[in-house]
Amino acid sequence: MARLGAMAAAVVIAAGCVGASPSDSLGQPPAGSAAGAGTVSESRAGVAMPVGEVPAQEIAQSRRTAITTAVERVAPAVVSVQTETVERVPADYFEMMFGGRSGQRARAGIGSGFIVRQDGVIVTNAHVVSGASRITVALRDGTTYDATLVGEDEQNDLAVLRIDARDLPVARVGTSSDLLVGEWSIAIGNPFGFVLGNTEPSVSVGVISAVGRNITARSEGAGMYLDMIQTDAAINPGNSGGPLVNATGDVIGVNSSIYSPSGGSVGLGFAIPIDRTMRIVDDLLTHGRVRQPWVGLQLRLPELSSARDAVRAVPLVGRVVPGSPAEKAGVRDGDVLVRAGTKTIRNPFDWEARLLELRVGETLPLVVRRGQRELTVQLTIADVPEVSAPRVTVLRELELVSLTDAIRQERRIRSRAGALVVNVSERLQSELGLQNGDVILQIGNTPITSADLAARAIEAYGARGVVQLWFERGGQGPYSINFRVR
pLDDT, tens digit, 9 for 90 and up, residues 333-355:
999 999 999 889 998 888 888 88
CB 410 within 8 Å of CB 388:
no
Assess if residue 20 is contained within a domain: no
In this structure, the answer to whether residues 190 and 279 fall within a common structural domain is yes
Give the 3-state secondary structure of residue 482.
strand
455: domain CATH number is: 2.30.42.10
In this structure, the answer to whether residues 304 and 378 fall within a common structural domain is yes
Assess if residue 192 is contained within a domain: yes
Looking at residue 156, its pLDDT comes to 85
Q: Are strands 202-215 and 225-231 parallel, antiparallel or unpaired?
A: antiparallel
Last residue of a domain, one of 163, 196, 226: 163
In this structure, the answer to whether residues 416 and 468 fall within a common structural domain is yes
Which residues are annotated as catalytic?
127, 157, 240
Domain membership of residue 258 as a residue range: 184-287
Cα separation, 185 vs 181, whole angstroms: 10
Cα separation, 250 vs 134, whole angstroms: 30
For the chain, the domain total comes to: 4
Assess if residue 179 is contained within a domain: no
Cα separation, 455 vs 449, whole angstroms: 11
Overall size of the chain counted in residues: 486
In this structure, the answer to whether residues 278 and 316 fall within a common structural domain is no
In this structure, the answer to whether residues 374 and 409 fall within a common structural domain is no
Looking at residue 486, its pLDDT comes to 57
224: domain CATH number is: 2.40.10.10
Assess if residue 251 is contained within a domain: yes
Degrees to nearest 5, angle at CA 178 with 278 and 161: 15
In this structure, the answer to whether residues 87 and 129 fall within a common structural domain is yes
Assess if residue 176 is contained within a domain: no
Looking at residue 149, its pLDDT comes to 95
Assess if residue 53 is contained within a domain: no
Cα separation, 29 vs 20, whole angstroms: 18
In this structure, the answer to whether residues 298 and 378 fall within a common structural domain is yes
CB 338 within 8 Å of CB 344:
yes
In this structure, the answer to whether residues 102 and 152 fall within a common structural domain is yes
Q: Which residues contact 38 (CB under 8 A, 6 or more apart)?
A: none
Last residue of a domain, one of 132, 163, 194: 163
Last residue of a domain, one of 268, 287, 306: 287
pLDDT, tens digit, 9 for 90 and up, residues 355-380:
888 888 899 999 999 999 999 999 99
In this structure, the answer to whether residues 143 and 85 fall within a common structural domain is yes
In eight-state DSSP terms, residue 24 is: G
In this structure, the answer to whether residues 341 and 430 fall within a common structural domain is no
In this structure, the answer to whether residues 390 and 377 fall within a common structural domain is no
Assess if residue 152 is contained within a domain: yes
Q: Is the pTM value of this prediction over 0.75?
A: no
CB 269 within 8 Å of CB 209:
no
Assess if residue 30 is contained within a domain: no
Task: Show the low-confidence residues of the chain (pLDDT under 70).
Answer: 1-52, 54, 87-104, 192-198, 216-224, 259-265, 301-310, 386-395, 431, 445, 461-466, 482-486
In this structure, the answer to whether residues 315 and 254 fall within a common structural domain is no
